[in-house]
Amino acid sequence: MIRILPALALCLPLVLMAQTERQPIDSIVALVEEDVILQSELDQAIDGIVRQVESRGENLPPRNVLEEQVLERLIMQRLQILRAESTGIRVSDADVDDALNRVARQNELTGGQLRQAVEAEGTSFEQFRSEIRDEIMISRLQQRVMSSMDEISDTEVEILMASDQFGGREYLLSQIVVSVPESASPDQFREAEARVEEIYDRLDEGMSFSSAAISYSQAPDALEGGDVGWRNISALPPVFADAVEGLSPGEVSEPLRTPAGVIILQVRDVRERSEVIVTEYRARHLLISPSELITTDEARERIEDLRERIEDGEDFAELAREYSSDQSTANLGGLLDWFPAGAYGPYVREQVESLEPGELSDPFQSPNGWHLIKLLEVRESDRTEEVLRSEAREMLSEQKAQEEVDRFLRQLRSESFVEIRL
CATH code of residue 179: 3.10.50.40
For the segment 381-402, the average pLDDT, to the nearest whole number, is 81
- The mean pLDDT value of the chain amounts to 87
Same domain, yes or no: 394 and 256: yes
**Does some domain include residue 12?**
no
pLDDT single digits (tens) 134-158: 999 999 999 999 988 888 888 888 8
**Does some domain include residue 154?**
no
* Residue 177 phi, psi (nearest 5): -120, 125
Same domain, yes or no: 49 and 118: yes
Contacts of 115 (CB under 8 A, 6+ apart): 125
Same domain, yes or no: 233 and 264: yes
Q: Are 233 and 171 in contact (CB under 8 A)?
A: yes
- Output the pLDDT for position 306: 96
**Does some domain include residue 115?**
yes
d(C-alpha 135, C-alpha 307), whole Å: 50
% of the chain surpassing 70 pLDDT? 92
% of the chain surpassing 90 pLDDT? 57
Overall pTM surpassing 0.75 (yes/no): no
Same domain, yes or no: 57 and 118: yes
Same domain, yes or no: 247 and 316: no
Q: Are 283 and 382 in contact (CB under 8 A)?
A: no
**Does some domain include residue 14?**
no
**Over 90: is that where the pLDDT of 6 sits?**
no
**Over 60: is that where the pLDDT of 7 sits?**
no
The amino acid that residue 219 corresponds to is A
Same domain, yes or no: 92 and 127: yes
- Output the pLDDT for position 392: 80
For the segment 340-348, the average pLDDT, to the nearest whole number, is 89
Same domain, yes or no: 172 and 246: yes
Same domain, yes or no: 415 and 325: no
| CA angle, residues 239, 245, 251, in degrees to nearest 5 | 105
- Output the pLDDT for position 25: 74
Find the domain containing 79 and state its range: 28-146
Same domain, yes or no: 200 and 111: no
d(C-alpha 32, C-alpha 387), whole Å: 45
**Over 60: is that where the pLDDT of 380 sits?**
yes
- Output the pLDDT for position 3: 38
CB atoms within 10 A of CB 111: 13
Instruction: Spell 176-185 as b/e; 16+ CB within 10 A means b.
Output: bbbbbeeebe
Confidence band for 17, pLDDT divided at 50, 70 and 90: very low
Same domain, yes or no: 241 and 288: no
**Does some domain include residue 228?**
yes
The amino acid that residue 40 corresponds to is S
- Output the pLDDT for position 165: 58
Top pLDDT among 303 and 9 is at 303
Same domain, yes or no: 123 and 262: no
Same domain, yes or no: 268 and 390: yes
Report the domain count for the chain: 3
Q: Is the dihedral of CA 146, 149, 151, 152 positive or negative?
A: negative
pLDDT single digits (tens) 197-254: 999 999 999 999 999 999 999 998 999 999 999 888 877 888 898 999 889 999 999 9
- Count of all residues that appear for the chain in the document: 422
**Does some domain include residue 374?**
yes
Q: Is 263 helix (H, G, I), strand (E, B) or coil?
A: strand
What DSSP string describes 67-106? HHHHHHHHHHHHHHHHHHHHTT----HHHHHHHHHHHHHH
